Amino acid sequence: MSQQTARRGGAAWALVITSVAGFMAALDNLVVTTALPSIREDLGGGLHDLEWTVSAYTLTFAVLLMFGAALGDRFGRRRLFIVGLTVFTGASAAAAMAPGIDSLIAARAVQGAGAAVMMPLTLTLLTAAVPVAKRGMAYGIWGAVNGLAVASGPLVGGTLTEHISWQWIFWLNVPLGLALLPLARLRLAESHGTGAPLDVPGTLLASGGLFGIVYGLVRGPADGWTSALVLTGLFAGGALLVGFILYSTRAKNPMLPMRLFRSRAFSGINAASLLMFLGMFGSIFLLSQYMQGVLGYSPTEAGLRMLPWTGMPMLVAPIAGILADRIGGRPVVAAGLFLQALGLGYMAVVATADASYVSQLPALIVSGVGMALFFAPASHLVMSSVRPSEQGIASGANNALREVGGALGIAVMGSIFAAQGGYETGQTFVDGMRPALVTGSAVVALAGIAALLIPTRRRTERQAQSAEAAPVLETAAH
| Greater model confidence, 68 or 276 | 276
| Greater model confidence, 403 or 14 | 14
Question: How are the residues of the chain apportioned to helix, strand and coil, as percentages rounded to the nearest 5?
Answer: 85, 0, 15
The model carries a pTM of 0.72
- Which stretch of 73-82, 185-194, 199-208, 421-430 has the lowest confidence by average pLDDT? 185-194
Nearest 5 degrees, angle CA 35-CA 306-CA 27? 50
In angstroms, the CA 329 to CA 136 distance is 9
Residue 380 C-beta-side C-alpha neighbours within 13 Å: 39
Section 374-382 average pLDDT:
77
Q: What pLDDT score was predicted for residue 45?
A: 65
Q: What pLDDT score was predicted for residue 460?
A: 46
One-letter amino acid at 35 equals A
- Which stretch of 177-186, 346-355, 358-367, 456-465 has the lowest confidence by average pLDDT? 456-465
- Tell me the Ramachandran region of residue 296: left when phi exceeds 0, alpha when psi lies from -120 to 50, beta otherwise: left
Decide: helix, strand or coil at residue 165. Answer: coil
Q: For residues 311 and 149, is the Cβ–Cβ distance under 8 A?
A: no
Eight-class DSSP state of 259:
G
**Maximum average pLDDT range among 69-73, 299-303, 367-371, 441-445:** 441-445
User: Residue 85: pLDDT band by 50, 70, 90 thresholds?
Assistant: very high
pLDDT digits (tens, 9 = 90+) for 206-257: 888 878 887 787 777 667 778 888 899 889 989 998 998 888 888 877 777 7
Instruction: List all residues 6 or more positions away from 253 whose beta carbon is below 8 Å from its beta carbon.
Output: 194, 196, 197, 199
In angstroms, the CA 269 to CA 333 distance is 9
Decide: helix, strand or coil at residue 252. Answer: coil
Q: What pLDDT score was predicted for residue 474?
A: 40
pLDDT digits (tens, 9 = 90+) for 168-201: 888 988 998 999 899 888 888 787 766 667 778 8
One-letter amino acid at 1 equals M
Q: What pLDDT score was predicted for residue 195?
A: 61
Q: What pLDDT score was predicted for residue 347?
A: 92
User: Mutual orientation of helices 2-27 and 173-187 as an angle, nearest 10°?
Assistant: 150
Q: For residues 413 and 440, is the Cβ–Cβ distance under 8 A?
A: yes
Q: For residues 340 and 370, is the Cβ–Cβ distance under 8 A?
A: yes
Provide the 10 A C-beta neighbour count for residue 163: 10
Eight-class DSSP state of 197:
P
Instruction: List all residues 6 or more positions away from 352 whose beta carbon is below 8 Å from its beta carbon.
Output: 430
Section 371-392 average pLDDT:
75
User: Residue 48: pLDDT band by 50, 70, 90 thresholds?
Assistant: low
Instruction: List all residues 6 or more positions away from 45 whose beta carbon is below 8 Å from its beta carbon.
Output: 39, 101
Decide: helix, strand or coil at residue 467. Answer: helix
Q: Where are the alpha helices (DSSP H) in 164-294?
A: 168-171, 173-187, 200-223, 228-250, 264-289
Q: For residues 108 and 286, is the Cβ–Cβ distance under 8 A?
A: no
Section 95-104 average pLDDT:
87
What proportion of the chain, given as a percentage, has pLDDT over 90?
Answer: 13
* Phi, psi dihedral angles at 176 (to 5 degrees): -65, -45
